């Protein structure tokens, strides 16, 4: 299994509070991604990174920010959490080196509940 960890694995928070989720990889992969999973929608891309300090928006980026100061860490921040951000969040990593395509490997997920 690809070395990807997410912390915390579960979190319950109040509306309006800031929340930061962390994704840590030991594979030295260039690309990192944050997805959210909601019933009926599959996984939807929030933000992704293609290198240290290089990030871009995905399909559902409103209300989220990201940072990547080191290759191994990709942080997802909810500046002021809302109930609509209650979801399961997945981190993924990928790298093209030696591969025909950029296969993504997924972390274990973080369940976030905003009350």
Residue 42 as a binder of other proteins (CB under 8 A): the answer is: yes
For residues 86-115, which are near other proteins according to CB under 8 A?
A: 88, 90, 92, 94, 100-104, 106, 108-109
Residue 62: partners with Cβ closer than 8 Å, 6 or more residues away: none
Residue 34 as a binder of other proteins (CB under 8 A): the answer is: no
Residue 84 phi, psi dihedral angles, 5° rounding: -70, -10
For residues 45-84, which are near other proteins according to CB under 8 A?
A: 45, 48, 50, 58
- CA 55, CA 65: separation in Å to the nearest integer? 10
- CA 26, CA 72: separation in Å to the nearest integer? 6
Q: How far is the CB of 71 from other proteins (least distance, A)?
A: 17
> How many CB atoms lie under 10 A from the CB of residue 114?
19
Identify which of residues 14 and 99 has a Cβ nearer to other proteins in the complex: 99
Q: How far is the CB of 16 from other proteins (least distance, A)?
A: 27
- CA 15, CA 3: separation in Å to the nearest integer? 32
- CA 100, CA 56: separation in Å to the nearest integer? 23
Identify which of residues 4 and 78 has a Cβ nearer to other proteins in the complex: 4
- Interaction site with other proteins (CB under 8 A): 31, 40-45, 48, 50, 58, 88, 90, 92, 94, 100-104, 106, 108-109
């Amino acid at each position: 299994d690809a070395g990807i960890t997410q912390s915390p694995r579960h979190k319950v928070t109040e509306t309006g509070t800031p929340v930061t989720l962390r994704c840590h990889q030991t594979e030295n992969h260039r690309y990192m991604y944050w997805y959210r999973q909601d019933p009926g929608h599959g996984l939807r891309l929030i933000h992704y990174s293609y290198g240290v300090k290089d990030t871009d928006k995905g399909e559902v980026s409103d209300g989220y920010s990201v940072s990547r100061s080191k290759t191994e860490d990709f942080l997802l921040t909810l500046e002021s959490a809302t109930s609509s951000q209650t979801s399961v969040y997945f981190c993924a990593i990928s790298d093209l080196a030696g591969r025909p395509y950029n296969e993504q490997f997924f972390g274990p997920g973080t369940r976030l509940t905003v009350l």
